[in-house]
Structure formats: C-alpha cells, structure tokens
Amino acid sequence: MSISSKSTLKVRYSETDQMGVVHHSNYAKYLEIARIDWISQIGFSYKSMEDDGVMLPVFTLAFKFKKSAFFDDVLTVKTTLKKIPTFRIQFEYQIYNQKDELLTTASTDLVFVDAKTRKPMLCPQPILDKISELY
C-alpha cells in the first residue's frame, strides 16, 4: 500500500518557450508544489515543520520526459510516498495533462535536516505516526 495525493496546476505562459512548450526547469517547481500538497493532505504544514526547525532539502531529483506540456495545459501531479521515511523521504511522481496523458515521471529523495545544526536527522515522530496510520 502507498500514500498518494493529487495536485492540479495550470501551465503559465512564463513557464514556456517560444513554441509554447514547458521548459524542463519548471518541472522541479511542479514537484515542489505537489510535495507541499502531499504533506498538507496528510495533515501537516510544511511551514510549521520549518518553524519547528526541520528542513527538507532535495538530495536527488530525476525525470523521464515522455510528452511535452504546453501553455494553458491543466496538469495533475500524482505524488506517492515510496517507503516509510528514515532520515530521508522518497517520492515518485506522475504528471498528466487534462487529456489524462502521462507526460512525465519523476522521483526525489529529500533529507530531514536539523535547521540549527544543519545535520541530517530522523523523520519527526508525528509524521512517522501519521504515515504508519495511513500505510
């Protein structure tokens, strides 16, 4: 079983090139939006987590581009937790357009970091408890 969420966003003109195709650099932003939504949908606030001294920098980021997204497309990003987090949390993503065509797959590894010491830390227990409840 996995914990997934869906986020929807609309491609803005500024995210595209002259041909109306989304520039690849914008996909990292789409994943960030989706991750923050995922955290919110399981009942936590990314801002509160940071206020509590927990940072979550990206450690690895990988994409496979299958089809282009275009200006004004409505994209759905499905975000799935890959496994129970430890000092890192891993997500897999699928990005679809409004025609339900798979455009992109991606994965990220993020590391829990103590904001004061800047050292890796274990996933906060309240998040682990919620994930265990949902898993």
Catalytic residues: 17
Tokens at 57, concatenated: 């920098």
Strands of 88-96's sheet in order across: 4-10, 74-81, 88-96, 102-111, 58-65
Residue 47: CB atoms within 10 Å: 11
